[in-house]
Amino acid sequence: MHLRTRLEHYFGFSAHATNWRTEILAGLTTFITMAYIIFVNPSLLSKTGMPLAAITTATCLCAAFGSILMGSIANYPLALAPGMGLNAYFTYTVVLGMGVPWQTALGAVFLSGVIFLALTFTGIRQRLVAAIPHQLHAAVGGGIGLFIAFIGFRNAGIIVPSAATTVTLGNLRAPQTALAIFGLLLIAFLQVLRVRASMLIGVLTTMFLGILFHQVHWQPSTYDLTAIKATAFHLDILGALHVGAFEIIFVFLFVDLFDNIGTLVAVTQRAGLIAPDHTIPRLNRIFLADASSTILGSLAGTSTVTSYIESSAGVAAGGRTGVTAIVAGILFFLSLFIAPSSELSRPSPPRLHSSWSAASCLPASARSSGTIPKSESPPFSRSQRSLSPGPSPTASASDSPATHFSNSSPAAPAVRTGCSISWRPSFSFASSFSSANRPRLPELHSSFSLLPFLRKNRSKS
């Protein structure tokens, strides 16, 4: 029996009605949709003081190892990489917020991975999945899909924050927003035509158009693969065993546990890989690959590694076996030599006149050094709210006074979220105009000032 035939038999090509071309195309699609993590994860974790080049290498290495391991032993089209959300918790809450050294934080990630393995061998994780009613399998996928779509709309500028309705329609005529809408319509059109490579064609076409219209920029840079030595095996396990670190370990464990379960249920339901009795075959192998990848990630120098919901893009392209994950893993490995030498970026999407800053919550000394001393805490209070009278940032000296929140005011409100990110909204509204014949307020877009509209109304009256 030839090697190719053996591999097809091992991965079950006949049972899943697939072939090499479809699986390779699906793996490429999965990689394209989640390749952003190669740039986003290092940019987040580097704020802890970890070297950017080392994190980039660790990200590619762990994504390659986890995806190939998942495809090889579990035979599922699930790709793995350092998880979004957990890397933000690692950076802003654990290191910058609590003042925990990044070496100790990596030790907490390592211990959470060991606990993952223990829960897998004892069958506890499998029982948690079995406890989910099968009627919720499709609901989990739909919920995750809506959440990802919401993030995509926000990043594309299709929706923007609104103080009145939480979100509102953005400026659809902005170049990057129009480009994103074109990409969505192209993918939808190709899927109606049942083109299996619709996702890949749509992403690549949109990217090339972005380069053509100067919405995506190429920034060449160089680095050395040996830079990983700056983070590899620098974790502090003994420090993570301190009583105060149990909370951190629990969060890493809890979030990754249910994040993996949600992704697993959604992708397998979409791929039709759930057994007739509503169980997921080879579940212990899936969890084994996940836990092993998390342990390797902590040793290499990155946050928790988890399965990615973007794997559903590969499933939509026809991926049904572990070959899809292996192809994505191989591409992540090749990114070790390609991705660091080029970085794609785009202009920020339009937004309301507000500033989002995690660094603004920290002392000046911490902002300059990138770390925060253990004895200090972010200088803000949930009860810190005030109104400061003064002219609108957009008003001239002849304009009537307005009551407003101001970014520049020392007493500007700071609202704390789970990742120690502060929102300092800056908007203005007139404090006095006649209630009779009150004009209908214009729709709020990226400009939040109503003074020009009100001046025009007063001049008419």
Give me the helix-helix angle, 283-300 and 102-122, nearest 10°: 160
CA of residue 11 relative to chain centroid, distance: 30
Averaged pLDDT for residues 84-98? 90
Q: Which of 284, 302, 281 has the alpha carbon at shortest distance from 293?
A: 302
Between 237 and 338, the more confident residue is 237
CB 322 within 8 A of CB 71: yes
CB 29 within 8 A of CB 314: yes
Greatest mean pLDDT range, 3-17, 138-152, 328-342, 400-414 = 3-17
Averaged pLDDT for residues 107-128? 92
Is residue 345 classed as helix, strand or coil in its secondary structure?
strand
Averaged pLDDT for residues 80-105? 92
HSE-CB for 144 with a 13 A CA cutoff: 23
Per DSSP, the residues of 283-317 read HHHHHHHHHHHHHHHHHHT-S-EEE-TTHHHHHHT
Between 186 and 244, the more confident residue is 186
Check pLDDT > 50 for residue 397: no
Check pLDDT > 60 for residue 104: yes
Check pLDDT > 90 for residue 55: yes
**Would you give the DSSP letter of residue 267?**
H
Averaged pLDDT for residues 326-353? 67
Q: Which of 382, 290, 224 has the alpha carbon at shortest distance from 86?
A: 290
Averaged pLDDT for residues 420-431? 35
Task: Count other Cβ atoms within 10 Å, centred on residue 440.
Answer: 5
**Would you give the DSSP letter of residue 424?**
E
- The pair phi, psi for residue 176, each rounded to 5°, is -70, -30
Q: How confident is the model at residue 221 (pLDDT cuts 50, 70, 90)?
A: low
Residue 63 backbone zone (phi > 0: left; psi -120 to 50: alpha; other: beta): alpha
pLDDT of res. 118: 94
Check pLDDT > 80 for residue 389: no
Q: How confident is the model at residue 413 (pLDDT cuts 50, 70, 90)?
A: very low
pLDDT of res. 243: 59
Tell me the average pLDDT of the chain.
Answer: 77
Check pLDDT > 50 for residue 144: yes
Check pLDDT > 90 for residue 415: no
Distance CA 285, CA 293 (A): 12
Is residue 402 classed as helix, strand or coil in its secondary structure?
strand
Distance CA 210, CA 289 (A): 36
The lowest-confidence range among 50-64, 212-226, 337-351, 393-407 is 393-407
pLDDT of res. 384: 38
pLDDT of res. 222: 65
Averaged pLDDT for residues 4-24? 94
H/E element, 415: strand 415-416
Check pLDDT > 80 for residue 187: yes
Check pLDDT > 50 for residue 373: no
Averaged pLDDT for residues 242-253? 83
Check pLDDT > 60 for residue 254: yes
Which residues on neighbouring strands pair with residue 142, listed in sequence order? Answer: none
Q: How confident is the model at residue 367 (pLDDT cuts 50, 70, 90)?
A: very low
Task: Count other Cβ atoms within 10 Å, centred on residue 100.
Answer: 26
Distance CA 404, CA 57 (A): 47
The lowest-confidence range among 133-142, 195-204, 219-228, 423-432 is 423-432
CB 98 within 8 A of CB 247: no
Check pLDDT > 80 for residue 365: no
pTM for the complete prediction? Answer: 0.68
Alpha carbon separation from 197 to 31, 190, 270, 290 (Å, rounded): 13, 8, 17, 28
What burial class does residue 434 get, using C-beta atoms within 10 Å of its C-beta: 0-12 exposed, 13-18 middle, 19+ buried?
Answer: exposed
Check pLDDT > 50 for residue 408: no
Distance CA 349, CA 370 (A): 26
Angle at 308 between CA 305 and CA 312, to 5 degrees: 160
**How many percent of the chain have pLDDT more than 90?**
46
pLDDT of res. 223: 65
H runs (alpha helix) in 279-431: 283-300, 311-316, 322-338, 364-369
CB 34 within 8 A of CB 79: yes
Residue 347 backbone zone (phi > 0: left; psi -120 to 50: alpha; other: beta): beta
**How many percent of the chain have pLDDT more than 70?**
72
Residue whose entry in the numeric block shows the structure tokens 């989910």: 132
* Residue extents of the structural domains in the chain: 3-165+219-345, 357-460
Distance CA 310, CA 290 (A): 16
pLDDT of res. 411: 40
Check pLDDT > 90 for residue 330: yes
